[in-house]
Chains A and B, each alone.
Chain A
Amino acid sequence: MKKTVLGALTVASFGLPAMAQDSMDVTLGVLNDRSGVYADLSGEGSVVAARMAVADFGAADKSMNVEVISADHQNKPDIASNIARQWYDQDGVDAILDVPTSSTALAVADITAQANKILIDSGAGSTQLTGEQCQPTTIHWTYDTAALAKGTGGAVTERGDTKWFFLTADYAFGHSLEEETMKIVEESGGEVVGSLRHPFPATDFSSFLLQAQASGADVIGLANAGGDTVNAIKQAAEFGITQSGQSLAALLMFITDVHALGAETAQGLVLTEAFYWDHDDETREWSARFEEEFGSKPTMVHAGVYSGTMHYLAAVEATGSTDGDVVAEWMKANEFDDPLFGEGYVRKDGRVIHDMHLYEVKTPDESTGEWDLYKHVSTIPGEEAFLPMEGSGCAFANEG
């Protein structure tokens, strides 16, 4: 079959010979950032993760003909929407995976619901996906800003660093992360002594850091992401902020960011992740296979794409359908026990409930390799980590 896709699309066919007539065709579309700021934490790695899931699931032995295709949404909602429409209407895509950047994820969630397909989001952080803008066909797998705020904000405050100063990226994501963390800090008995909005993106943080230092806070919360967080941490080390007794808490940080900083600069930093490659034997085994194919260790977003795809394929196999409502219902009715995320389940509103983990970045002496970066501090049980469904604003989940 010749498939004409936009020039921007990369088609990674999962070549299986045409099976007998009763074999089932399933097409998965990995839609994420392949060239911009989130390309390392999602990007091609998510495509590799999806393909690994298809192979590990043994789709070929189960008379399922699964194809994985991918495209670059460039973090723009309009581009993401166009690709999603084309995939559903013309290319026979049954489920879209990953979709980092909250604005694109929310746009794709609506289109997915209209088309009665499935969105398994791993890369985006907005709680809106399972809140006011929830859809019955959205499954939000890996993390959200509330879980990060709960993990990092709660743990740091309870450790005794009660006075917080926030450095916040001046756009919707930063504001919501700041707001959610402030709430957790105050609930945990902490106090917010100040906050400051910095332009997005920013290169030089020295001025903002000195203002944070002068505030007398115990901890500086970084409500930003990617390059902004990396720059802020690098410069905090340079200005001796951490040596002078203040600590830093990164509210959204991926292992790729920590890797970019190196243990020397990032040591002592506290952060929350859903998955770390060196967590146990199963994650190590999977991550080693991933690294062999992709060339670097997986992020939690990659892991989420893998696990989400496994659970999706199980649903398709069990129901014999790729109909969005049918598959979503099965995915929510059946718990999963996963090598990467442990035991978990999909809540009615689409929020996936699994444990989150608090990590501290190792010192250079403790770290034995370039990816040996975290030590485990504590586990936050899934039920506590994520926002409760009641009061989340998700209409269909809370009625009746």
Chain B
Amino acid sequence: MFELLGIPPQVLMGQLLLGLINGSFYAVLSLGLAVIFGLLNIINFSHGAQYMLGAFVAWMLLEYLGINYWWALILVPVIVGATGVVLEKLALRRLYHLDHLYGLLLTFGVALIIQGLFRNYYGISGLPYSIPSQLSGGQNLGFMFLPNYRGWVVVASVVVCFGTWFVIEKTRLGAYLRAATENPTLVGAFGINVPLMIMLTYGFGVALAGFAGVLAAPIYSVNPNMGADLIIVVFAVVVIGGMGSIMGAIVTGFGLGVIEGLTKVFYPAGSAVVIFVIMAIVLMIKPEGLFGRNN
């Protein structure tokens, strides 16, 4: 059996698959950021807090109302997305004509407030959320034991990512959206309610974060800081993919998950920085990102 740098192929295969699974989270989260930035020009720093909100709302639905994981998967994005709509309507809307920096500061402040509130009420240690019984257990693939839930995460993420890409890039609704960001006045003149469309788009981006939160709840610690830990990496993914590029966010999300996974085998201590090293290299060679359009 051949070995690559002393790593048996079974281990390598396992790590590639694990990388793909982590990449699923990066992809869904960075997709939400890319949609919001690409169509609204808002750098949504509260994305991590909204992801955390998704996991907490799933926990609350189960704890207080007895609503299970599958319903949460549908309800949580709607609820979290609705909070995004409210935020857009009350605050973000007033910042569109200003510099990016103002949107960034506002969303960052909102993130701190949300995290602070949850820390105050639920503490920092986290809350238990079980894997749904239909997805417990796993498959022995020969080279590794794949928990059914992880397999589900990959499938769900791929479906959601490409569904989103399809709607924005290939449908009439997506065309309106893209046109509205290019020239809102003109699109409005055709009788399309641009402010409503922008508001719903932000809500949709936030719903994606909530969706990722539900996916994460059974396998990661559900605590108020879970988003803050992840958001910086996700921003790096978006920058590497090209700010605002939908396909860029998806492909780099999965790709960087795999690269990070491999780093964990060859040099575990470096796995925290590898994404940022790649970001630095990409920014030096192609400042607009791998899939970014140079405008």
Instruction: Check if A and B associate.
Output: yes
Seen from chain A, the residues whose Cβ lies within 8 Å of a Cβ on chain B are 35-41, 170, 196-199, 201-204, 206-208, 210-211, 214, 226-227, 230-231, 234-235, 238-240, 244, 256-257, 259-262, 264-265, 296
CA distance A235 to B153 in the complex (A): 14
A240 near B145: Cβ-Cβ < 8 Å = yes
List residues of chain B with CB under 8 Å of any chain A CB: 11, 14-15, 18-19, 21-22, 116, 119, 123-128, 130-131, 138, 144-145, 147, 149-150, 218-221, 223, 225-226, 229-230, 261, 264-265, 268-269, 271-273
Q: For B230, what are the chain A residues with a Cβ–Cβ distance below 8 Å?
A: 203
Instruction: Report whether A262 and B128 are in contact in the complex, using a CB–CB cutoff of 8 Å.
Output: yes
List the A residue with the shortest CB-CB distance to B127: A260
In the complex with contacts A231-B221, A238-B219, A203-B123 CB distance below 8 A: no
Taken together as a complex, chains A and B put the C-alpha atoms of A240 and B221 apart, in Å, by: 18
Contact A206 B18, beta carbon cutoff 8 Å: yes
* 8 A-B pairs with C-beta separation under 8 A: A39-B124, A198-B269, A211-B264, A234-B221, A238-B138, A240-B138, A260-B125, A265-B130
- Chain A residues with Cβ below 8 Å from B127 are 260
Q: What CA separation (Å) do A235 and B219 show in the bound complex?
A: 6
Supposing A206-B21, A207-B15, A211-B265 touch, asked if A199 and B272 sit within 8 A by C-beta, the answer is yes
Q: Are B229 and A238 in contact (CB under 8 A)?
A: no
- Taking A211-B11, A261-B128 as given, write out 14 further A-B residue pairs in contact, using a Cβ cutoff of 8 Å, ordered by the A residue number: A40-B124, A40-B125, A41-B125, A197-B269, A204-B18, A204-B220, A208-B268, A210-B144, A230-B125, A239-B147, A257-B125, A260-B125, A262-B128, A296-B123
Query: CB-CB < 8 A to A170: which residues of B?
Result: 269
Question: Which B residues are in CB contact (< 8 Å) with A260?
Answer: 125-128, 221, 223
Q: A35-B119, A39-B119, A227-B225 are in contact. Are A204 and B145 (CB under 8 A)?
A: no
Residues of B within 8 A of A214 (CB): 11
Query: Considering the complex of A and B, which 5 residue pairs feature the smallest CB-CB distances, nearest first?
Result: A199-B272, A262-B128, A207-B264, A260-B126, A260-B125
* C-alpha gap A204/B116 in the complex (Å): 24
Q: Is there contact, CB below 8 Å, between B272 and A202? A: yes
A240 to B149, CA, bound (A): 12
A52 to chain B, nearest CB (A): 20
Of A39, A227, A235, A264, which contacts B126 at CB under 8 A? A227
CA distance A240 to B124 in the complex (A): 27
